[in-house]
Amino acid sequence: SDLQKQEERGELLQPLIFVLLVLCSVLLYFKVSLMDPGFVKPEEEEGEEKGQGVVIPQIPGDIKLRRCGYCLVKQPMRAKHCQLCQHCVRRYDHHCPWLENCVGERNHPLFIVYLSVQLVVLLWGGHVAWSGLYFEQSREWLQHNIFLLISFLLIFIFTIVVLLLLVSHLYLISCNTTTWEFMSHHRISYLRHSELENPFDQGIILNLWRFFC
């Protein structure tokens, strides 16, 4: 049959890989959006008090951990309360409206993987949509290709958004800082009173290694 001939020629391999990438992207979306991003639990306070002082030696010793005014837990270093999730989140980066979840210590690496897979899917889909377009200056051509043209424009816009998100997050990760720390540096006590501009930065290679591994 035609299907068997296409399989023998390897013509079904690329569509199969594309479908698997889309499926992987969907699974990653649900995984990142449904998992615990690193919520601070009240029973963890005692352990935080013992281990917090030796983590970052550049942080001035007179900066004490403060108790959250919303959920009343003692916030670890780099944690922030999210009013949408109603929890304090460890190594808080931002609250993602697309995921309806915070991006924090536990799901941030998977969030980067999700963006990477999503970018590959969009680039591949954009290539397929572009290859199906042949331009003619006629009303009949526009009527037959309007949906393909709209699809390509939407894919192009989403690709730019995802690419900018991925590049900005990789830059912040390479500096060992978060979106919240980058945007609110002047309002965060442990950064405002630190002798270093970024006391968490340990070099690009070590920053990336510690984040992903």
Catalytically annotated residue among 82, 96, 102, 213: 96
Beta-carbon count within 10 A of 200 CB: 22
96 is catalytic: yes
Q: Which two tokens stand for residue 129?
A: 């949509």
Residue 171 near residue 182 (C-beta atoms within 8 A): no
User: Among all chains, which residue has been given the structure tokens 């690009």?
Assistant: 204
Residue 158: which of 199, 111, 124, 192 has the closest Cα?
124
Q: How far apart are CA 183 and CA 52, in angstroms?
A: 24
Q: How far apart are CA 104 and CA 211, in angstroms?
A: 12
Beta-carbon count within 10 A of 52 CB: 15
Q: Which two tokens stand for residue 36?
A: 């615990």
Q: Which two tokens stand for residue 148?
A: 């393909």
Residue 23: which of 109, 118, 98 has the closest Cα?
118
Any idea which residues carry the catalytic annotation?
96
